[in-house]
């Protein structure tokens, strides 16, 4: 560290489901800490990733995608998203270039006008720019900036990395001067148990997205660091019906075995050590209405009322 004063602050990534917030977070932080799938509404908790840019420590709040809530879990997720945004020092609204100014984006901009604190900088990040022509991009940027006074507009591809460095450097300049919140080697403030559960849930979602998109959750039940440097992790996959359990297990247990193997590889790479992962599938019909499941996910059960 030089004598340059340090900076530290919170940046909220908001947008519709699937806008690329988790992909951008992982790109910014340089590690896979936020679940990335092609299913909407997969980010349930406000995962924070920590990125270092020169003397600045940027703490990203990856909020659940903003959508019209129908169930208790949906309502709690949307409440968490707006809470994360209004508490942040800077907001980045992400939209997909090829989808443009959707009804959902218009609704988010309307609510930003009402809910965002005065003087809070809001940047616009138009993502997936490789999918549209330059003139379409420019027209879209103009239209969005007419709808809301964005501090800056960035054209990015979170997946390929285009424009991400410029955005990160700008964010580093916007956050307040002050001491860092986290040690330099700490990239996420979620407990490792929860990150491991999210990684397994990602594999389940990718494999079973047609049959069981949201009717399952994963919890890490036991975590044991062994003397040989390896880690044993026991997780429970909760489903809502017996029929769901059969789908997750698959013929002769082949599906759960493949999911466990893929999840183990990811968790092992993330932790930098050998991982022994054991998965159990349990039926819990009402897990969507149990307060303790919400606190496990970092959500407030009452927000779903």
Question: Residue 304: what pLDDT?
Answer: 57
Smallest CA-to-CA distance from 7 within 208, 207, 168 is with 168
Query: Which residues 6+ apart lie within 8 Å of 228 measured at CB?
Result: none
Are the CB atoms for 126 and 93 separated by under 8 Å?
Answer: no
What is the reported pLDDT for 168? Answer: 93
Q: How confident is the model at residue 99 (pLDDT cuts 50, 70, 90)?
A: very high
pLDDT level of residue 132 (50, 70, 90 thresholds): very high
Q: State residue 192's pLDDT score.
A: 76
Which residues are CB-contacts of 108 (< 8 A; sequence separation ≥ 6)? 14, 15, 16, 66, 93
Neighbours of 288 (CB within 10 A): 18
288 pLDDT higher than 80:
no
C-alpha to C-alpha distance for 239 and 211, rounded to whole angstroms? 12
Contact 291, 301 (CB under 8 A): yes
pLDDT confidence of residue 124:
96
pLDDT in tens, 16-56: 877 888 788 888 887 655 444 444 444 444 556 788 888 99
Look at phi and psi of residue 124 and say left if phi exceeds 0, alpha if psi is from -120 to 50, else beta.
beta
Rounded-to-integer distance, Cα 218 and Cα 64, Å: 17
**If you compute the radius of gyration of the chain from its CA atoms, what whole number of angstroms results?**
20
What CA dihedral angle connects 206, 49, 190 and 111, to 10 degrees?
-80
Pick from 222, 90, 213: nearest CA to 150: 90
pLDDT band of 85, cuts 50, 70, 90: low
Which pLDDT belongs to residue 22? 78
pLDDT at 67: 53
């Amino acid at each position: 560290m030089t004598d340059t004063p340090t900076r530290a602050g919170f940046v909220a990534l908001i947008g519709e489901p699937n806008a690329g917030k988790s992909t951008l977070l992982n790109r910014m932080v340089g590690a896979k800490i936020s679940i990335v799938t092609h299913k909407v509404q997969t980010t349930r908790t406000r995962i924070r990733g920590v990125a270092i840019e020169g003397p600045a420590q940027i703490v990203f709040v990856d909020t659940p995608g903003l959508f019209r809530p129908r169930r208790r879990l949906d309502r709690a997720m949307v409440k968490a998203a707006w809470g994360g945004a209004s508490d942040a020092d800077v907001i980045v609204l992400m939209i997909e270039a090829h989808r443009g100014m959707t009804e959902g984006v218009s609704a988010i901009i309307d609510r930003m006008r009402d809910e965002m604190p005065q003087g809070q900088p809001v940047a616009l990040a138009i993502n997936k720019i490789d999918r549209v022509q330059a003139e379409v991009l420019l027209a879209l940027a103009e239209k969005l900036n007419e709808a809301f006074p964005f501090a800056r507009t960035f054209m990015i591809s979170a997946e390929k990395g285009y424009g991400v460095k410029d955005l990160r450097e700008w964010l580093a300049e916007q956050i307040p001067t002050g001491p860092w919140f986290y040690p330099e080697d700490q990239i996420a403030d979620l407990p490792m148990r929860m990150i491991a559960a999210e990684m397994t849930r990602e594999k389940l979602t990718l494999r079973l997205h047609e049959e069981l998109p949201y009717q399952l959750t994963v919890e890490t039940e036991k975590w044991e660091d062994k003397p040989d440097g390896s880690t044993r992790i026991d997780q429970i996959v909760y489903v809502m019906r017996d029929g769901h359990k059969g789908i997750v297990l698959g013929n002769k247990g082949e599906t759960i075995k493949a999911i466990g193997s893929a999840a183990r590889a990811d968790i092992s790479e993330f932790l930098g050590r050998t991982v022994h992962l054991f998965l159990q599938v349990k039926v819990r019909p009402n897990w969507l209405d149990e307060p303790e499941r919400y606190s496990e996910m970092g959500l407030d059960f009452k927000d779903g009322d």
